[in-house]
Every structure is written in C-alpha cells, then in structure tokens.
Amino acid sequence: MAKQSAIDDDGALAGFASHLHLMENRAERTVTTYLAHTRAFSRYLAEAHPGLSLTEVEPGQIHSFLLHEGERGITQVTRSTAYFALKSLYNFLEGNEEVACNPTDGVKIRHAPQIRTEVYTDAQAEQILTWARNQDGRRWEVGHTLLATLRFTGLRLNELVNLRLDQVDLDARRFSLVGKGSNPRLVPVPPTLAPVLRSYLEDVRPALPNSPYFFANPESDPAHQFHGRFGPRAVHELVRQAGEGAGAPGRHFAHRWRHTYATSLLRHGEDIHVVQRLLGHSNIATTIRYLHLSDADLMDAVDRAFPAA
C-alpha cells in the first residue's frame, strides 16, 4: 500500500512540475523551490503517515507538516513559501479532479513580515560606479559596465546574465529580451548608459572570449557551465566587492540595484504604472513592494503638488 502511494505521489509531483512549466509559465527558480517543498511534504507523509497518499491529505496533515518544519528550525518565511507551494500543488490536483477540495484552505498561517530591501541613494550608486570604473584589469572594465547596466536598466539578475549581443540595439537605445514568465520585454537604455555600453562594445568586448552573450567573462573556465558569460555567483561577487570597496553601507547584492532603479524613478516623479512596465511586472502589487520612499520623499511630493502661493 505504502509503495503504491509513493508511486502515485511521484506521478502527481511530475505532473505538477509539468503544469508549473507549461501551463503557469513559472520561472525556473519558482518551479525548483515549489518542487523542493512538495517533495519534502511527500517525504514527511511517508514517515509520519505511512500509506497516506497526497490525494488523501486533510488540513491536519498540512498543519502538522508546517509545525514539523518549524521544529526543525525552518524560518517563518520559508514555511510560508512551503504553504504556498502546497496550495499550488492542491490547486493543480483539484483542477484535475484528483482531490475534492484544497486541504490548504483549512490551514491558517501567520504570514512572515515583509522585509524592506535596502536601496542605494543616488550618491551611493554613483560612488560605487566611480570605484568600479577606477579599478585596474579587464574584469573591472567589464564589471563597471555590468554595474552601470544594473543601475540604469533595473534588469533582473537572470536577464542580465542571459543578455545576448543580438538583443542590444544602441541606435534605438533599447534591449529586446524575454523576461520572467517568458514574456517579451523592451528595456529602454537611458542616454547616460548608452555611451558606456558603446565604449564597452568597441574597446573591451573584442578582447573578451568569443560568446553570443553581451557580458563575456574574461575569467570564465571553458569547463564551467557559464563559460563565455557571467554566472549569477560571479555577478554577486562583483556587486559585493564594488559595494564594499566603495564603502557603501549595508549588504550588497544584485537585486538591491533593481530596487534602487525603481526607487530612483519614483523619486524623480515617474508614475508607478510606468515603473511597473519598466520593471516588467504583470501585477502592480509586485511593483508596490519596490517602494522605498523616505519621509523626505513624501514631503517633496506634497510640496510639488501643493506649492506655496
């Protein structure tokens, strides 16, 4: 009985993976995360409730699993993600009429508090770019251009490392790429970035490894999966070194630049719906999470709207 349940569960999870990829167009990272949590739940069932298949689960087992994860030291944020992974799994099973209802609907969780990501001020961002520009070596010639691209386009890390030469049109000042969820996305290149990219293409790029990718890593290993381009870890290391080298406060990671890009646009009076399109968000609620406006920003907004007579 237990063996048959395991076989059935494996089939359900395989179908769920295909559903996430093909029907929901989920990002690869989301698919990987959801599958990790649903497989962990399946293993938990096999140990704590032998013979109970995924399609026989009730709210009590979901609740017990989340408590079990908490007792193992899993953070509230990760447990919330596990809950939503299971909710997505059972939505899929319910849609296939393999379960009568979604058992996660009977489970209440305490949502993790939203953590506000740090952003760079305009002065800090310029300080970091200046530091990177003043470093010696081919790595920082590329690194400065890469950081400037993060600063002035707000690209996601995955979009940056996968940006190809044929997606960059400097005459039209735009990147044409496929963003999150396989959605076509046009990213404008501002006038301050265009000459930096052009100089990189003319003076630096010809000396780098032959590659279809825009940012070719001069230190990449031919045996490595990211040969000919920067991988995510290499970008994170550049970002960290530049932030620390320039003496900017806080933690330094690629996504901080994306938040900085969005906040700079809002501080300069851009409409949030314009920022939504520039970031490639399908939902305005996602864009709202990128708001990092200070009290001074709010005062400036009111003063602009209602100037003194």
Q: Is 290 in the active site?
A: yes
Q: Are strands 174-178 and 168-169 parallel, antiparallel or unpaired?
A: antiparallel
| Catalytic annotation present for 151 | no
Which residue is catalytic, options 19, 37, 156, 259? Answer: 156
- C-alpha to C-alpha distance for 93 and 101, rounded to whole angstroms: 9
Catalytic residue among 180, 205, 252, 256: 180
Decide if 255 is catalytic. yes
Report whether 236 contacts 253 (CB < 8 A): yes
- By DSSP bridging, strand 174-178 and strand 184-188 are antiparallel
> 298 to each of 124, 205, 266, 292, 309, how far by Cα in Å?
20, 43, 11, 11, 20
DSSP string of the chain, one letter each residue? -HHHHHHHHHHHHHHHHHIIIIIS---HHHHHHHHHHHHHHHHHHHHHSTT--GGG--HHHHHHHHHHHHHTT--HHHHHHHHHHHHHHHHHHHHTTSSSS-GGGG----PPPPPPPP---HHHHHHHHHHHHT--SHHHHHHHHHHHHHHHH---HHHHHT-BGGGEETTTTEEEEE-GGG-EEEEE--TTTHHHHHHIIIIIGGGSPP-SBSS--TT--TTSTTTTS--HHHHHHHHHHHHHHTT--S---HHHHHHHHHHHHHHTT--HHHHHHHHT-SSHHHHHTT----HHHHHHHHHHHS---
Which of 37, 258, 259, 267 is catalytic? The answer is 258
Is 79 catalytic? The answer is no
Indicate if 273 belongs to the active site: no
- The residue annotated as part of the active site, out of 255, 273, 277, 289, is 255
- Is residue 44 among the annotated active site residues? no
Catalytic residue positions, numbered: 156, 180, 255, 258, 281, 290
